[in-house]
Amino acid sequence: MKTIGYAASSATSPLVPFTFERRALRPNDVAMEVLYCGVCHSDLHQAHNDWGWSTYPLVPGHEIVGRVVEVGKAVSRYKAGDAVAVGCMVDSCQHCDQCHKGEEQLCREGNTQTYNDRDRITRDVTYGGYSKHLVVREEFVLRVPDGLDLARAAPLLCAGITTYSPLRTWDVGPGSRVGVIGLGGLGHMAVKLAAAMGAHVTVMSRTGDKKADALALGADRLLISTDKEAMAKAQSSFDLIIDTVPVKHDINPYTPLLDVDGTLVLVGQIGPLDPPTTVPLLMGRRRIAGSPIGGIRETQELLDFCARKNILPDCEMIRMDQINEAFKRLERGADVHYRFVIDMASLKA
């Protein structure tokens, strides 16, 4: 199947139109027309080869919502016309202990990423959702429940699941005390999801500028991390802190805020940390942890939860040809509220 997308041809080149082939359907494949694709910070990092493993041409995009156009002979769960979604993974080994538990993101053999990775059978480079069509094996296709706005659902597939998974892993529920550091694409989802689970939610920020935004998203309060007195008062008052800041920063001011057995979970790939001080970790049996996206089962659970609770990301819709400008704004950081979503109808052959 011939299709069109947007690709970067090198670490320094802008994204431009790119025509390529999607594979012929295998028996367990679903072909979809992409309707919307979210713009994740990691799209920018990989287009620019910031992590050193990019292959070009590179078609980013792993927050994908669309409609099924065709299915392989052995596909039983989907049919043409179904509203579906694909996130950061398109395959895994399917036989290790983690895959059996539905934690394909932790597959012992490594999962196959939606783009900038290699197909497990052909070894062809995978191309993501900045494109008109996508072909993915049935097991990695999610169902978009009725009632979930297709145009705004896309960011749930990465920003949503990356924050939902730690909230579930650490059993957040009514009365849990949750802190969220950073109020971007991931942070704003963490606030909405934690609030919907009944948690008491605090946004942590260097200034008070984002207070109105934080409260509007569902937070109970804003804690200014540069206010020494307020930080001292907040010691030992959190069960879970989700750190969504996508660039290198010092986590030492935050660990004392955890209560006994509390966890600070990092969800951004930020490279080396400043040396963490062990005293607050030992004295409060506190933990620093990391968490990557979530499994397919949990991602479906998130989509169903958001449909039930009417939770949607705050999106700014863009045309495909505005992607390079969107990348620049994402790099600057401040003025995105809170996720760009590409309307794929704007991508013409």
List residues binding Zn ion (CB under 5 A). Answer: 40, 42, 92-93, 96, 99, 107, 158
Nearest to 253 by CA among 264, 267, 239: 264
Residue 164 region, left (φ>0) first, then alpha (ψ -120 to 50), else beta?
alpha
Closer to Zn ion at the Cβ: 79 or 100? 100
Cβ-proximal residues to 123 (8 Å cutoff; 6+ apart), any chain: none
Least distance from C-beta 111 to Zn ion, angstroms?
A: 7
What is the C-alpha to C-alpha distance for residues 268 and 270, in angstroms, rounded to an integer?
6
Shortest separation between residue 158's beta carbon and Zn ion, angstroms: 3
State in angstroms the smallest separation of the CB of 228 from Zn ion.
34
Burial class (CB in 10 A: 0-12, 13-18, 19+), 92: buried
Q: Which is nearer to Zn ion, 38 or 284 (CB)?
A: 38
Closest CB to Zn ion among residues 38, 262 = 38
Residue 270 CB, nearest approach to Zn ion (Å): 14
Residue 331 DSSP one-character state: H
Contact indicator for 84, 39 with CB cutoff of 8 Å: no
CB of 276 to Zn ion, least distance (A): 25
The distance of closest approach from Cβ of residue 41 to Zn ion in the complex, given in angstroms and rounded to an integer, is 7
- Considering the complex, state which of residue 89 and residue 224 has its C-beta at the smaller distance from Zn ion: 89
CB of 156 to Zn ion, least distance (A): 11
Buried b or exposed e, range 175-208, using 16+ CB within 10 angstroms: ebbbbbbbbbbbbbbbbbbbbbbebbbbbbbeee
Q: What is the end-to-end Cα distance of the chain in Å, rounded?
A: 14
Name which of 176 and 244 has its Cβ closer to Zn ion. 244
Distance between CA 151 and CA 148 in Å, rounded?
A: 9
Give the residue with the Cβ less far from Zn ion, 256 or 295: 295
**What residue type is assigned to position 239 of the chain?**
D
Q: Which C-beta is closer to Zn ion: that of 92 or that of 255?
A: 92
